Amino acid sequence: MKEYCMNDGRKIPAVGLGTFRVQPSDCERTVASALRDGYRLVDTANVYLNERAVGRGIAASGIAREEIVVTSKIWPTEYHKKARAAIDATLSRLGLDYLDVLLLHQPFGDVESAWAALEEAVEAGKVKTIGVSNFNEADLKRLLSHCKVKPALDQVECHPYFQQRELRAFLKQHGILLESWYPLGSGDSGLLGEPSVVRLAEKYAKTPVQIVLKWHVEEGFVVIPGTKDPAHAHENRDLFDFTLSEEEMDSLRALDRGTRFFTMKRGIQRYAVFFQRMNYDRQP
Ligand SMILES: NC(=O)c1ccc[n+]([C@@H]2O[C@H](COP(=O)([O-])OP(=O)(O)OC[C@H]3O[C@@H](n4cnc5c(N)ncnc54)[C@H](OP(=O)(O)O)[C@@H]3O)[C@@H](O)[C@H]2O)c1
């Protein structure tokens, strides 16, 4: 597995397992099986309501804790005065005494005090690496103006239809890694059926999913495809026995339309519940 070095000197695998919308009943099994299958990065969030199942999957895998990079995120409803308690609650749900990566999930609300709580958690040894998610350049500039510890990662929507070109330049300048969410456009059949994707899949005897994921890795992104299916998880990390040429990468770069699958408007309509304070402990 390819690894990247983050700006705090710690390492992170190029490919991890995403768990958004993976129900606790599937999550425990998929996490355990993916870790046994070689995954060493798992991504969850308090708002996914599956941290307990992720923790059980980690325990059931039998893989040594120190070999696994566990990422979680804190939702903005917890930023103001509640961030310290939210970090402890996330650790308790996962059944872990430290997190490898903790992110602020969104750039809304009391980011300044939530970031200070993350910095404190690093000092206290509760978290190793801190970063952000869904922060654009302006959000990052604001954070960089008051932070003591620079974010190591920005987890954002990214895929061949939305390649984040401007943000990437800014992240590179500041040594912040891009981590792609919706790397498969949430499994979009249009993206996976693009002739350039299908042609490369045929050429390398890979699936369109593997071609798109390889594009992320070759671009230098951490990628966390989400799945409830252990066979899909296996396929999604089997990317390291072929290489895309610069010309082939260019044919995928040409798919950029600058369009997201997830707009805030659509997101708010579909996931309105995430914008209220939830009882994160109500999960099996
Ligand atoms: N920070 C944020 O705001 C944010 C937002 C969204 C997501 N995320 C993170 O990013 C991760 C990835 O995003 P995502 O899961 O929403 O979208 P995604 O990875 O682009 O797509 C997931 C979809 O693709 C399907 N899939 C995965 N592997 C497949 C394969 N090999 N063959 C066929 N279908 C496959 C999955 O179905 P099956 O289950 O059937 O495989 C699922 O429906 C999330 O799981 C989460 O950890 C973060």
Q: How far apart are CA 59 and CA 96, in angstroms?
A: 10
pLDDT tens digit string along 97-137? 999 999 999 999 999 999 999 999 999 999 999 999 999 99
Please indicate, yes or no, if residue 283 is contained in any of the structural domains: no
pLDDT tens digit string along 65-82? 999 999 999 999 999 999
Please indicate, yes or no, if residue 282 is contained in any of the structural domains: no
- Best residue among 232, 264, 274 to mutate for probing ligand 1's pocket (most ligand atoms within 8 Å of CB) is 232
Please indicate, yes or no, if residue 284 is contained in any of the structural domains: no
Please indicate, yes or no, if residue 50 is contained in any of the structural domains: yes
Tell the residue nearest (CA) to atom 48 of ligand 1: 181
Cα of 28 to ligand 1 centre, how many Å? 16
Strand partners, 127: 99
Q: Where are any strands of DSSP class E within 26-144?
A: 41-43, 69-74, 99-104, 127-133
The set of catalytic residues is 48
- Strand 177-181 and strand 153-157: pairing? parallel
Q: How far apart are CA 158 and CA 183, in angstroms?
A: 6
CATH number at residue 31: 3.20.20.100
Q: Which residue has the tokens 């402890």?
A: 88
pLDDT tens digit string along 229-247? 999 999 999 999 999 999 9
Can you give the residue range of the structural domain that contains 173? 3-275
Please indicate, yes or no, if residue 163 is contained in any of the structural domains: yes
Using CA atoms, how far residue 210 sits from 165, 182, 252, in Å, is 22, 14, 13
Q: The whole model's pTM is what?
A: 0.96
Domain count, the chain: 1
Q: Quick one: pLDDT at residue 267?
A: 67
pLDDT tens digit string along 10-30? 999 999 999 999 999 999 999
Please indicate, yes or no, if residue 250 is contained in any of the structural domains: yes
Q: Amino acid identity, residue 150? A: K
Residue 1 has pLDDT above 70, yes or no: yes
Cα of 120 to ligand 1 centre, how many Å? 31
CB-CB contact of 229 with 24 (8 Å):
no
Please indicate, yes or no, if residue 281 is contained in any of the structural domains: no
Residue 144 has pLDDT above 80, yes or no: yes
Tell the residue nearest (CA) to atom 27 of ligand 1: 227
Please indicate, yes or no, if residue 280 is contained in any of the structural domains: no
Identify the residues whose C-beta falls under 6 Å from ligand 1.
Answer: 18-20, 43, 105, 133-134, 155, 181-187, 209, 224-229, 232, 235-236
Cβ burial of 159 (10 Å; 0-12, 13-18, 19+) is buried
Phi, psi of 67 (to 5 degrees): -85, -10
